[in-house]
Amino acid sequence: MPEKIFLLKFGRCKWSKCLFCGYGASEGRKPESENMKRYFDLFFDTLEPEIDHIKVFGSGSFFDEQQMPAEGRRYFIERCRQAGIRKLMVESRPEFITPGVLGEFSDMQLEVAIGLEVADDRILDKINKGFHLRDFERAVEVLRSKDVKPRTYLLVNLPFVDDVQESLDSSVKYTLKYSDSIVLINLLPHYMSRLMKMWVRGEWSFLSKDEFYDIVGKWMNDPRIGVDVETFRFVPKFPSELREKLSGVGEEYLTHPHFDVWQDYLVRWYEVPKGKEIILFLPCSHRKPYSESETHKKIIEKLNRLKVRDRIHEVMLSNAGVVPREFEDMYPFNAYDWDEGLETEEIKKRYIEVTAERIREYVKAHSYDGILCFLKYDSESYKALNKACHELDLEFRNLLRMEIYEKIKKQKKPLQGEEALSSLSEALKDEIGEI
């Protein structure tokens, strides 16, 4: 049955207090009748004729008349009929599911999805879900009485759960008694949720994709059960109220929690962009984002001139950790200031230890055909890279030739000088030819 996704972008969830949800706290378009009709018309007027199944997703409840006024709901239903839609799926909290509203869909196959999350009243209270199992059961009874199919969402890896596997298995067994279908969803920290704050504080952490599939694996062959490993594009986006001024030198600015959650993400979730087969470790810069600094501008210019930038993955090393180019303008990578002139011998040693560990874990998690760098030999970043590669028994090459480095060091010339950049170009030509 050909289907189409429809995103409901009106109003907000009336409850909007669930610990894991950030969408419910955001306000959608005002649910005014004419606005909604224009939005619906745009969707249906461009709908492919073969579509006969629509799934409606939104941050809230399709049956909540503050979010979806009755007039708008009925207009949507009528447009479905005109388009020949035979099957419709919508989402709702239990309290909005009534015989009256379900009667409006009497001539089509209706499926209603409920976010139960977990079959445990104690956990439902802790995550502030706002209803209990008896409310879910009552809603299912109403759905069944109107020949409507119940669909249930369960979240995998909720906080406060003692045993994730045991909790999931128990929830699935319970929910199968009340649902025609279930979706097992990998819980990820939405940036506007309280769960994001728990992650930053180290009170909870997400499951990697492999960890998620290991836990749900025993249920994946059941035709009634689907899985969703990533419900939104997961990147550690920090809301403004969590951001800090990260200006300073010392342990606090080396192992700051905001840096640590990013390093966790880069190791356990992040995927290297396709085609980026060679990693090039680069120094950080005082100017943010790095690509606005003179050194990085000239490095990028050289890579473009050699027509190799599409194969090179540019990754910076700094006290913030391992920083892929594509994230350089995201907090906290665009909001820290580490003054090398204030480093003590003790903090230099810690920098090397911490950065080597971050490099080691990152390189172990991702596969590259070659490892290159363009770093000063006496820099802590180079020493950390050398330490990490030695421990992993991996070879790497510095595109800054030692004799050139000794020369510019003696002459006190910058890394963006022509001699250093020429070394980068010449060495890169040789290296790319070999890889």
What is the per-residue pLDDT across 45-78, written as a single tens digit (0 to 9) for each?
999 999 999 999 988 899 999 999 999 999 999 9
Least confident piece of the model among 1-5, 118-122, 300-304: 1-5
Q: 296 or 416: which carries more pLDDT confidence?
A: 296
CA neighbor of 189 nearest in space, from 179, 181, 180, 199: 199
SS3 of the chain: helix, strand, coil, percent, to 5: 45, 15, 40
**CA–CA gap between residue 67 and residue 64 (Å, rounded):** 5
**CA–CA gap between residue 314 and residue 272 (Å, rounded):** 11
Task: State the pLDDT at residue 411.
Answer: 80
Task: State the pLDDT at residue 410.
Answer: 85
Give residue-wise pLDDT tens across range 393-414: 999 999 999 999 999 888 877 7
Task: State the pLDDT at residue 24.
Answer: 61
Tell whether pTM > 0.75: yes
Give residue-wise pLDDT tens across range 315-342: 999 999 999 999 999 999 999 999 999 9
Give residue-wise pLDDT tens across range 95-128: 999 999 999 999 999 999 999 999 999 999 999 9
Q: Could you tell me the pLDDT band of residue 188, with boundaries at 50, 70 and 90?
A: very high
Q: 64 and 92 in contact (C-beta within 8 Å)?
A: yes
Mean pLDDT of all residues in 147-170:
98
Task: State the pLDDT at residue 418.
Answer: 87
Task: State the pLDDT at residue 25.
Answer: 61
Q: Which amino acid is at 239?
A: P
Task: State the pLDDT at residue 1.
Answer: 60
DSSP 155: E
Task: State the pLDDT at residue 35.
Answer: 85
Q: Which amino acid is at 419?
A: E
The overall average pLDDT reported for the chain is 94
Task: State the pLDDT at residue 432.
Answer: 76
The 10 Å CB-count burial string (b at 16+, else e) for 347-376 is: beebbbebbbbbbbbbbeebebebbbbbbb
Mean pLDDT of all residues in 344-365:
98
Residues in contact with 4: Cβ distance below 8 Å, sequence separation at least 6, in sequence order: 47, 48, 51, 53, 54, 55
DSSP string for 351-396: HHHHHHHHHHHHHHHS--SEEEE---TTSHHHHHHHHHHHHHT---
Task: State the pLDDT at residue 435.
Answer: 54
Q: Could you tell me the pLDDT band of residue 26, with boundaries at 50, 70 and 90?
A: low
Q: Which domains does the chain carry?
A: 3-228 (3.20.20.70), 240-434 (3.40.50.10630)
Task: State the pLDDT at residue 27.
Answer: 61
Q: How far is CA 136 from CA 46, 152, 153, 177, 196, in A?
A: 36, 10, 12, 12, 27
Q: Could you tell me the pLDDT band of residue 11, with boundaries at 50, 70 and 90?
A: confident
The 10 Å CB-count burial string (b at 16+, else e) for 123-136 is: bbeebebbbebebb
Q: 21 and 58 in contact (C-beta within 8 Å)?
A: no
Percentage with pLDDT > 90 across the chain: 86
Task: State the pLDDT at residue 430.
Answer: 83
Q: 416 or 226: which carries more pLDDT confidence?
A: 226
Structure tokens at 317: 């090393």
Task: State the pLDDT at residue 9.
Answer: 85
Per-residue pLDDT for 434 more than 60?
no
**CA–CA gap between residue 103 and residue 125 (Å, rounded):** 32
Task: State the pLDDT at residue 417.
Answer: 83
| 89 sits in which H/E element | strand 87-91
Measure CA of the first residue to CA of the last residue in the chain; give whole Å: 47
Q: Which amino acid is at 87?
A: K
**CA–CA gap between residue 102 and residue 32 (Å, rounded):** 22
